[in-house]
Amino acid sequence: MSRTKTQKQPSPIIHVVPKSSPTLVATTPDMGLSQDKIRARAYALYEARNHEPGQQEQDWLRAEREIIGKAK
């Protein structure tokens, strides 16, 4: 009895879209000022945690909520 080999299916092509960088989002002068404020606030949060690494995204999102919340 002969065995036929099954053909291996080709792997699907997966396109990974990188996360947008907060520094690349600003497109208007007002947005640029907001980005600067958010960046400064995020850094202040980082300093308040005694420069403990690993929470950059949480710091950024918190700062963004605070700054944008004040602007509304």
Q: What residue ranges do the domains of the chain occupy?
A: 25-71
What are the respective helix, strand and coil percentages of the chain, to the nearest 5?
Answer: 55, 0, 45
pTM over the 0.75 mark: no
Q: What is the pLDDT along the chain (72 residues), one digit of tens a residue?
A: 555 666 677 666 665 555 555 554 544 456 677 889 999 999 999 999 999 989 999 999 999 999 888 766
pLDDT at 26: 46
pLDDT of residue 69: 83
CB 63 within 8 A of CB 41: yes
Q: Whole-angstrom Cα distance, residue 62 to residue 65?
A: 5
Closest by CA to 59, choosing from 42, 72, 38, 71, is 42
Q: Which residues, in sequence order, are CB contacts of 26 under 8 Å at separation 6+?
A: 32, 34, 35
